[in-house]
Chains A and B, each alone.
Chain A
Amino acid sequence: MARGALALLQGLLVLALAPGVVGLVRWLKARLQNRRGAPAWQPYFELRKLFGKEVVVSENASWLFRAAPYVVFVSTAAAALLVPVLAVPLPIDAVGDLLVVVYLLLLGTVFLALAGLDPGSAFGGMGSSREMTVAALAEPTVALAIFALALSAGSTNLGQIVARTMSDPAAALSPGHLLAFAALFVVMIAETGRMPVDNPATHLELTMIHEAMVLEYSGRYLALIEWAAALKLLVFFALLGNLFVPWGVAVVLTPAALALALASLVGKLAVLAVAVALLETRVAKLRLFRVPELLSASFVLALLAVTSSFLSR
């Protein structure tokens, strides 16, 4: 029972934390670029502002355009609920494994892509087409990285992967794990629309992907989509942090263990935020047609991860 409550609690925590992580990345990026930058909690104000505004909907848009933000938000939130954040094992592990998380995120992407097409603007279509291209090419990498993890853990269950790595610390440094981590990191960059794949700070440029797709959204719909995007970033951070470096995740439900889990979670998120901010400051955006090369490189990394997991089992 306590574990069930904790699963809900950590879901709420993730929902609350997500905009802050995006704000942190933005603030770090600003500091790295010698700008002052808005404080890390700026996204919360933005969400409040957006929820308070009226919505403008294109006259060409259908019901799908108005339903999509809800689908995107709920599917991403469901994925966030399944990811181990504070403690393992939780009863919610039985509802969905790592594959379910990935496909829930894909469900959100598909609805965003459909909503991008709906108003009939060239921008939305362009963003939609590019987003689905990137998503399609990132998919095999994710699956192979999962396969590599599952090969060493004997399961695709998130709780079990965490528990297995904790019980066998050497596994965390095995080539299979390291390669899978690298592959998933690249996928994270691509899936969350970060540089060098996409530029989250751009508007009305021909290079953009995600922003082009959601260009027609405003008000509460945009708020839901932005929040879902932040959640998606947090889901990937939590996966990278807790699956590959599981230490800190609580196994017993004592206040001390949970406090440590929270502290280690914040620490891991901060480290990953710094990594993303550094990357976004250091590298320029790739041309769209160079992105597949990056993704196929990550695919090769994942393939090597599987191969080494097979060899070392």
Chain B
Amino acid sequence: MTLDTPLAAGLAMIAAYLAGAAGAVILPGSRAGRVVAAAGAIAGATAGVVLAAGVLATGHAFALHVPALLPTGGGLALRLDGLGAFFLALVGVGAAPAALFGVGYSAGYAGRYSLRWLGAMLNVFLLAMSLVTLADNVLTFVLLWEAMSLASYFLVMTEHEQPDTVAAGAWYLAMTHVGLALILVAFVLLMPPGAGSAFADLRARAIALSPAIRNVVFVLAVVGFGSKAGLVPLHVWLPRAHPAAPSHVSALMSGVMVKLGVYGMLRFALDLLGVGPAWWGALLIGLGAASALIGILYALMEDDLKRLLAYSTVENVGLITIGVGAGLLFASLREETSAALALAAALYHALNHTVFKSLLFLGAGSVVHATGRRDMNRLGGLIRRLPWTAACFLVGSLAIAGLPPLNGFVSEWLLFQSLLPAIGSPAPLVAPVMTLAVGALALTAGLAAAGFVKAFGITFLAVPRSPEAEHAHEAPATMRAAMAFLAVGCGVLGVAALTVLPRLAALLAGYAGLAAAPPVLTLGPSLALPDGFGSMSPPLLGLGLALGAAGVWLAVRLGAARGLRVGATWGCGRIGQTPRMEYTSTSYAEPLRRVFAEVYRPTEDLTIDVHPESRYFVQSIAYRSEIVPWFERYVYGPLVARVTGWAARTRALQSGSVHAYLAYLVIALLVLLAISLAWND
């Protein structure tokens, strides 16, 4: 028997991740252990990408069914189709650099935290994420999903003695399980009674279901997977948990794991449920727009670099969801070309976000590694001390701000263009929804530019504002290599749009509401959309900018005076500039905080101590300001208070007396018997 390539790649992927985990357990604390854990993860990621590429290239799904494992739930069923392969590749793209970065980054953890646990859980986490994309029956999917959630929870809890981490972990655990419960209900509603729980059975059953039940399943799936993806208002755990994890794990959670929430939604909407009514798409566009705006608005106000990035993940998931929503909306209106383009734009943005958000989190990790600080108000001036990190972080910032010719720009352009075909649509729902989406998309893009000027400028430019930033040092080679890889990826994915987009459109062909053949794109040197909606050429644009910059530099060099003198920064005649005069993260965002004061509702506290002789002699000024998101204050605040209240009341049961506990057992037994009797009648 010869082993065919996809099977070999699949088995190699599983084996590599397991070997990485085993290596971390066997060789804890040493450099070898860190290297083996990372090598396993990188090998697993590569094998995963090979497997996915094979499926995407041939168009043939890869399937593996092992009935002996999990016999009660129909066996372990794995099947990789186009949609799954895209997300499997996405896991690999994010996993390899993060694991490489981890080699250098986790060195600082030696002696303080368990490297055995970190390395093993990292590999388990990656394995679970990779296999979720292959799951082909309910039990396999749910088990892998839960394994992914638990492994990431343990990774979040790495720095377990920090109170913030514990709180973040609790939020994460609660939200992810609420999501899981909803996903389970969605599956149960779809499962045919008595028959199997393979996805094929679910697909067949969905056609027979009443519209009302299908709607319920869709909403449950959106809420359940939305909690993992970080859609507003289910995102509250995300800005807590992602920053609390070690930075390379943050990169994986923000760059990769949230995308699997999107995968879940797509699996339900495009595959299991089939085409739905138009409002499904409109609902997703609304949720996406809200997530994008709220995410970026709170990202702008963050002083903590990693929290800023986490909020920006909420924003980008919102953008992806807008694309998915537009795709579903067009699909239900039977506009197959527009639907395919919108979904391809969403997938493109998902891939791009994986690359630049991983890059930014790794960059933030390098900053934390160098300074031990995440508070941007205490950073600054790092561009001279960490030149590599700064250059990579700059590329990531420009990409995420959607600036040409990098990848973020291409996918945002596509998202915008994918909303344009609304012109031809006669449906009354389309006009207001699309207008809303365009407005939200554009405001988000503008605010994201401001947010990432702040993130890069305040962290890396000007003069250091703390001794730690003053004495920062550049990251080791493994960390630099991981960041450089992703920074190059930002450029390549931008310029290669002409190659990427047709492939994305092709992998989507044949799903519910989409044509069996991908839309025909006229691809010359530029990306021209069908029906002449717009055209743009990322390679020519990049080439033009590069040549132009070189030409202008040369012309100025030849034609202009060359003198250059280094002097002090102008301070209105004041001598001696100190870092206290600089703009900080808080002051940078101040104008926007005023503009959106109605959204933020900040609490401010200003205390001025004056000299007893005269109130014109100020001795000290203390200013405190805090922004508590309103949904946390008004929705989650009371909810958490209620739950803790109930929990405190239940504590009365826990008396410590064995007699009482025995009595509870008897009572519980009697109650259960009574219920079962009543049930049988």
Q: Contact residues of A with B, CB < 8 Å?
A: 51-60, 62-64, 70-71, 73-75, 77-78, 81, 93-97, 99-100, 103-104, 106-107, 109-110, 113-114, 117-126, 128-130, 132-133, 135-144, 147, 150-151, 154-157, 160, 204, 215-216, 219-220, 223-224, 288-289, 292, 299, 303, 306-307, 310, 313
Most chain A beta-carbon contacts within 10 A, residue among B525, B565, B569: B569
Q: Contact residues of B with A, CB < 8 Å?
A: 380-381, 383-384, 394, 398, 401-404, 409, 413, 416-417, 419-420, 423, 431, 435, 438-439, 441-443, 445-447, 449-450, 453-454, 456-458, 461-463, 524-526, 528, 531-537, 540-541, 544-545, 548-549, 552-553, 556, 559-572, 577, 579, 581-583, 587-592, 594-595
A106 to B409, CA, bound (A): 11
| B561 and A220 form a contact (CB under 8 A) | yes
Chain B residues whose CB sits within 8 angstroms of the CB of A137 once the complex forms: 443, 446, 595
| Chain B binding surface, main DSSP class | helix
A201 to B396, CA, bound (A): 36
With A57-B567, A125-B588, A133-B595 given, is the CB distance from A64 to B583 under 8 Å? no
| B533 and A99 form a contact (CB under 8 A) | no
With A71-B549, A120-B577, A143-B442 given, is the CB distance from A106 to B403 under 8 Å? yes
Nearest-Cβ distance from residue A5 to partner chain B, whole angstroms: 16
A292 to B592, CA, bound (A): 9
With A144-B435, A204-B572 given, is the CB distance from A96 to B537 under 8 Å? yes
A117 in complex: contacting residue of B413, B553, B583, CB < 8 Å: B583
Chain B residues whose CB sits within 8 angstroms of the CB of A78 once the complex forms: 541, 544-545, 548
A147 in complex: contacting residue of B398, B435, B443, CB < 8 Å: B435
Q: Which residue in chain A gives the minimum CB-CB distance to B446? A: A139
Chain B residues whose CB sits within 8 angstroms of the CB of A139 once the complex forms: 442-443, 445-447, 449
| A135 and B435 form a contact (CB under 8 A) | no
A126 in complex: contacting residue of B536, B572, B583, CB < 8 Å: B583
Q: Please, could you name 27 A-B residue pairs with CB atoms under 8 Å apart, sorted by A?
A: A51-B560, A56-B567, A60-B381, A63-B383, A74-B549, A93-B535, A94-B524, A106-B401, A106-B403, A117-B458, A120-B380, A120-B462, A121-B577, A122-B583, A126-B583, A129-B454, A129-B591, A136-B446, A137-B443, A139-B449, A154-B423, A154-B531, A157-B532, A157-B535, A215-B570, A220-B560, A313-B423
B534 in complex: contacting residue of A70, A109, A156, A306, CB < 8 Å: A156
A59 in complex: contacting residue of B402, B545, B564, B566, CB < 8 Å: B566
Q: Which residue in chain B gives the minimum CB-CB distance to A130? A: B591
A90 to B582, CA, bound (A): 47
| A59 and B560 form a contact (CB under 8 A) | no
Chain A residues whose CB sits within 8 angstroms of the CB of B458 once the complex forms: 117
| B567 and A62 form a contact (CB under 8 A) | no
With A121-B569, A157-B532 given, is the CB distance from A110 to B453 under 8 Å? yes
| A110 and B403 form a contact (CB under 8 A) | yes
Nearest-Cβ distance from residue A248 to partner chain B, whole angstroms: 24
List 13 extra interface pairs beyond A99-B536, A143-B439, CB under 8 A: A52-B560, A71-B549, A94-B526, A103-B404, A110-B398, A117-B453, A120-B461, A132-B450, A132-B453, A135-B449, A147-B420, A219-B563, A310-B431
Chain B residues whose CB sits within 8 angstroms of the CB of A75 once the complex forms: 545
Q: Which residue in chain B gives the minimum CB-CB distance to A116? A: B457
Chain A residues whose CB sits within 8 angstroms of the CB of B383 once the complex forms: 62-64
| B442 and A144 form a contact (CB under 8 A) | yes
A137 to B439, CA, bound (A): 11
A35 to B582, CA, bound (A): 39
Chain B residues whose CB sits within 8 angstroms of the CB of A288 once the complex forms: 591
Q: Which residue in chain B gives the minimum CB-CB distance to A139? A: B446
Nearest-Cβ distance from residue A211 to partner chain B, whole angstroms: 12
With A97-B534, A117-B462, A121-B571 given, is the CB distance from A143 to B438 under 8 Å? yes
| B579 and A57 form a contact (CB under 8 A) | no
| B535 and A133 form a contact (CB under 8 A) | no
With A54-B564, A62-B384, A77-B548 given, is the CB distance from A303 to B435 under 8 Å? yes
B441 in complex: contacting residue of A133, A138, A143, CB < 8 Å: A143
B579 in complex: contacting residue of A120, A135, A147, CB < 8 Å: A120
The 9 closest A-B pairs by CB, nearest first: A125-B583, A54-B563, A139-B446, A143-B442, A120-B462, A136-B446, A132-B450, A117-B457, A140-B442
A121 in complex: contacting residue of B398, B416, B581, CB < 8 Å: B581
With A143-B441, A223-B560 given, is the CB distance from A125 to B587 under 8 Å? yes
Chain B residues whose CB sits within 8 angstroms of the CB of A160 once the complex forms: 532
With A121-B570, A128-B453 given, is the CB distance from A103 to B563 under 8 Å? no
Chain A residues whose CB sits within 8 angstroms of the CB of B591 once the complex forms: 129-130, 133, 288-289
Chain B residues whose CB sits within 8 angstroms of the CB of A204 once the complex forms: 572
A299 to B413, CA, bound (A): 20
Chain A residues whose CB sits within 8 angstroms of the CB of B409 once the complex forms: 103
Nearest-Cβ distance from residue A176 to partner chain B, whole angstroms: 12
Chain B residues whose CB sits within 8 angstroms of the CB of A136 once the complex forms: 443, 446-447, 449-450, 592
Chain B residues whose CB sits within 8 angstroms of the CB of A107 once the complex forms: 398, 403-404
| B556 and A224 form a contact (CB under 8 A) | yes
Chain B residues whose CB sits within 8 angstroms of the CB of A113 once the complex forms: 453, 457
A158 to B534, CA, bound (A): 9
| A110 and B568 form a contact (CB under 8 A) | no
